[in-house]
Structure 1
Amino acid sequence: MADRQHVYLFYRQVPELTKKATELSELAEKNGFNIVENHQEANIIISIGGDGTFLQSVRKTGFRNDCLYVGLATKENLGMYCDFHIDEISEMIAAMTDKHIKVRKYPTIKVNVDGEGTFYCLNEFSIRSGIIKTFALDVYIDDLHFETFCGDGMLIATPTGSTAYNKSVKGAVVDPLLPCLQVSEIASLNNNQFRTLDSSFILSGDRKLIFHVIQDGNDYPTMAMDNEALSIQHVKKVEVQLSGEVIKTIKLKNNSFWHKVKRSFL
């Protein structure tokens, strides 16, 4: 860990968490770490909160693949991204100072909307009708027109995001060792005019998923990147694929992805 000693703490500025952050800072400095005020100077980024805070820490610090992200839970349930609890800080410090530390890598999604820029997601990207009305999409897999969707929207999840929103719309839970995308429908309409697969499906990480928004007046969809909304008007084309970049976290013994799934749901 000699090359990872500069730590940035990400948390909500409330008295309870500020107190915990101060305790963590003091303990970290006693163990040879340096607490920095600018996340760009850090090579370890610790989020204090829950899974939502972890997702925000990744987004607000630019989805860096040159540093280690660590989730520190404040509630009883550790969640899917938090490997440590706020009351067990010493365990986290011990893991971070272990010279035999192993790194877990989570794939991320990149989304391009009408060529206006690239956006990244760790959990999922969703596109939904922005008004109380179904909307339609022509769905392409690479260059193949796969289906024309009509309904509330569609959801594209990473393997780690498969346990979140994706699971609630009956998508499958996917092992993060598989670099892939999962595509799930949200309240699809199937009739003589519109016909979809009516099932979640998995795409290889080498595939590109393309949505052409059918311009029928409902072309201002609500789009979400993890837990943050993206507002772009008159959307015509959305491209989604794995980014090739990963988010790195500490890999702990007896706390694999499937340990977490069992702990959270069974």
Structure 2
Amino acid sequence: RTARRLRDRGYDLAVLPHRSPRSALLALFARIPRRIGFAGAPGSLFYTERVAAPPGTYLSREAALARAAGAEPRPMTLAPRPEWVRAADERLANATAIAALCIGSEWETKIWPAQHFAELADHLAERGLLPVLLGGAREAVLAEAVQARAGARCLDTTGNPVGEALAILARAAIVVGGDTGLVHAARALGIPTVALFGPSSAAVHEMGERQRAVSLGLECSPCSAHGQRHCPLGHHRCMRDLSADAVLAHCDAVLS
């Protein structure tokens, strides 16, 4: 069905940074004549052009695909749509200074413990910021756990539409969370950001001037490219041992 919709739109080029065979097959079945992706990817058999992935960050790799497609990469800006901003304003009411805490992840091993988020929320509230909890609908239980442990009032916005979440991020004085889409969206928005890395690597991301990648640097970390459902060693120390006080120090640094 998805391939049929794509075919009906008549695309002539597909750029495929995702390495999965499913993405490549979608482009093939959509009859997109030119399909560009990384050499050696599981789906590369179905590409018409294969590009060697350069070492370095995700941005440098995807820039190589853009150049193969005939584009010249340049700095981009991300801005929420006006309707998203209005929805965020309604949700935040009169809050003028907020700290956005991105509490969840698709991968359990990337999630910082609720107790740590609660402690950080209290510290940020002492600095005059309203802690705002962001995440998908499945993070509602985690949000409840954070609120139950925090002494400060937290605004729970988990489950809100992605556009509204982006607009909330754009309003934030600081954003804190794991290696997740919302955290990287905050970085793209130019918001001061503290990103927490445990099972995945910070080396594939380019951090801006007021952005910090925080990791304990354990011998077992990183253990995967994108995170896992469970810690291979069973202790999850890369996130559990990363204290709220340590993260707060980085927050103070980017806020200053």
TM-score surpassing 0.5?
A: no
The higher-RCO structure (CA 8 Å, 6+ apart) is: 1
Q: Structure 1-normalised TM-score?
A: 0.28
Looking at secondary structure, tell me which structure has more strand per residue: 1
